[in-house]
Amino acid sequence: MKNTLSSPVVVISLFFVTISLVVAVRVVYRTDSTANQQAGPNPIGIFTILQVHSGHMHQEWLRFTQQGTLMYSTNFSAGSQQVLKSRLRLSTDHTFVRYEKVTLNRHQSFLFDGNTVVRTTFEAETQVDVRALDGIEAESIKFQMATFGLLPILKRLSDPSTQVVYVGAASKGNRFQVKTAGGSWYFYTNSNHLINRLEVGDIEITYEDYRTVDGLNLPFSQRVKKGDRLLYEIRFDTFDPNPVFAAGFFKSTLL
């Protein structure tokens, strides 16, 4: 990819992707005060699903890091289409999340402490901006954090306060409902009890290319769609389920 991509094209592309994601984040992140891991008849328990992915009965997914490449297309005029790529890394330590995005010569780091998202921007390795996000920007980043790969989803499902209800068999696989204070979202498992699809409002996320990494069964490919439109896809290359973070790794001048 050439470095001649104009900033307006990148900004406009990200804006439309952001608008598509903003509604869904509230459903993913808001919790329900009532804990009920299995409400209703369920031939496959949530603990079985978690164990199939991790090989452990009580994996909590409290600390991990993963990296991948996000790709999405721009197509604003007939015959003009470009594929933009960003290198991403997500790191989690209990309630703290650090999400890093590198596109061309811009490096952005997003820190989330459970309440506030702070973005630090570097251009050509020089810090140019630090600020707390709100509104659409904050909602979009939180959604990306919550759905970057399957590890954040597994972490959410392993939380005892998460309310999961077995809905039944469907054409896409066994269907489960996750109830939150902001609404409900759904996930599906295949015949091997691996999660292969999420539905959050009108956003659909599919997981493919499962591989075993350090005893974990994880997808290396993720596609995010709204209706028939592909918003972006991600290819993962690195997972670390037990990283060691440097002091201050999840802190910024505003947190």
Contact 189, 176 (CB under 8 A): yes
pLDDT at residue 29 tops 90? no
Q: Whole-angstrom Cα distance, residue 224 to residue 201? A: 12
C-alpha to C-alpha distance for 99 and 111, rounded to whole angstroms: 7
Q: What percent of the chain has pLDDT over 90?
A: 53
Measured distance CA(244)–CA(205) in Å, rounded = 30
Distance CA(255)–CA(252), nearest Å, equals: 5
Round to whole Å and give the CA distance between 247 and 249: 6
Per-residue pLDDT band at 61 (split at 50, 70, 90): confident
Give me the pLDDT at residue 208, please.
96
pLDDT of 97 > 90? The answer is: yes
Q: Residue 186 belongs to what H/E stretch?
A: strand 183-189
Do residues 54 and 154 touch, judged by C-beta distance below 8 A?
yes
> What is residue 73's predicted lDDT score, i.e. its pLDDT?
78
Strand 183-189 and strand 106-112: pairing?
unpaired
At a CB cut-off of 8 Å and minimum separation 6, what does 240 contact? 64, 65, 66
Q: Which residue has the higher pLDDT, 79 or 232?
A: 232
Q: What is the pLDDT of residue 75?
A: 63
DSSP assignment letter at 39: B
Q: Who has greater pLDDT, 178 or 18?
A: 178
Contacts of 113 (CB under 8 A, 6+ apart): 95, 96, 250, 255
Query: Can you give the pLDDT at residue 33?
Result: 42
Q: How confident is the model at residue 197 (pLDDT cuts 50, 70, 90)?
A: very high
Confidence of residue 86 (pLDDT cuts 50, 70, 90): very high
Mean per-residue pLDDT of the chain? 83
pLDDT score, position 80: 60
Domains for the chain: give ranges and CATH numbers. 7-240 (2.50.20.10)
> What is the pTM (predicted TM-score) of this model?
0.83
3-state SS of 147-172?
CCCCHHHHHHHHCCCCEEEEEEEECC
